[in-house]
Amino acid sequence: MSAVGDLLAQLIALPTHQLAPDGTRGDERALCDFVAPLLRARGADEVTVTDCPRADGSPGAYVFARWGTPRRVINAHVDTVPPNTGWSRPPHTPHFENGQLYGLGSCDTKAAIAATLIALEGGVPRDRGVLFSGDEEAGSAAIQAFLATPAARDIREVIVCEPTARGAGIAHRGVIAQHAVMTSPGGHSSKADHLPRPVAQLARLATALDDIGRARLHDGPAGMTGLCLNLAGIAGGVAFNVIPARGELGWSLRPFPGFDRAAWHAEVARLAAAIDPAIQIVTDIDHPAFACSALAELVKPFVQRTGSLDFWTEAALIAEHGIDAIVIGPGDIGHAHAPDERVPLADLDWAVELFRALLA
């Protein structure tokens, strides 16, 4: 196997997964500490490993290396999702077969980390940086923390590494996840005519939200119309003859670039208040959409296509800080988060050449 494949195998063997159902979680700091000396050996002027707690409160980290004053940065995330069910072999045991390297995080996105490190062997870059950050699969704590540091101040371009099957992403939807809660004294169903009814009121809110989603099916830019509004579930109650003491409704939407998120939050608040002032709205996730075509020419010699992506990335958070970004990397998103996650070795070689050019 090639040098990049060997290095990727070592990264796969370092668990960095978010909290799993069995209670285990990976160690982002361990991977950052592993790659830090490799970055120093490649001539970096400074390499820093920073602790950064993940969204669930567990330890997390990022590692940043700079050559001069970085104007362009390659960013890949070190964390993975927990192992999905259905793996045919241990997910942290790298396995090579039929031109593919298997393992958790192999394409999402440890392949990009390995390819970046091998690309740096081609020469010492100038005014470039490398950021390997944690918590991408949960709360984006690491990238948010880094963007708030002085080290991010002079950065103008970021290559955000995600498995794009040799394409380049210049736009994608955002993610908003919300839930509504309504409480009641509860009690015997014989008193239902005279007590608040959380489930009924939340059902009215659900119908109203669905009406908005249907009315806006044609909003948005070509190829990204509609809100993708999803009513995820409504819950409450314990028996047919018990008035629920609490009801909860959950929903999400995938806003297109240019979507007015503040106006949406205000609209939902007005809608809920009109149905019942006792309804409380909680926003769990509010990720912006992404659109930036400034770097498309930069990667044009290496890509098969350029366009929008159907998944969210931290490029949206980077762009919100006024930094141009593009999404590109080895592997296919169809293999990410899936059992027997894998990346073609040919994609690793392609990524090495891509990153070598971007670091030049």
Catalytic residues: 136
For 222-237, b/e burial (b = at least 16 CB within 10 A) is eebebbbbeeeebebe
For residue 119, with 0-12 CB atoms within 10 Å meaning exposed, 13-18 middle and 19 or more buried, which class applies?
A: buried
How far apart are the C-alpha atoms of 104 and 33, rounded to whole Å?
19
**Using alpha carbons only, what angle is made at residue 337 by residues 333 and 339, rounded to the nearest 5 degrees?**
110
State the residue for tokens 């075509």: 293
Task: Return the structure tokens found at 272.
Answer: 């809920």
How far apart are the C-alpha atoms of 8 and 108, rounded to whole Å?
11
How far apart are the C-alpha atoms of 338 and 330, rounded to whole Å?
16
**Three-state DSSP state, 306:** strand
For 305-314, b/e burial (b = at least 16 CB within 10 A) is ebebbebbbb
Identify the CA nearest to 1 among candidates 120, 77, 114, 107: 114
* Residues with Cβ within 8 Å of residue 201, at least 6 apart in sequence: 182, 247, 275, 276, 278, 279
Q: Is the dihedral of CA 73, 78, 82, 83 positive or negative?
A: positive
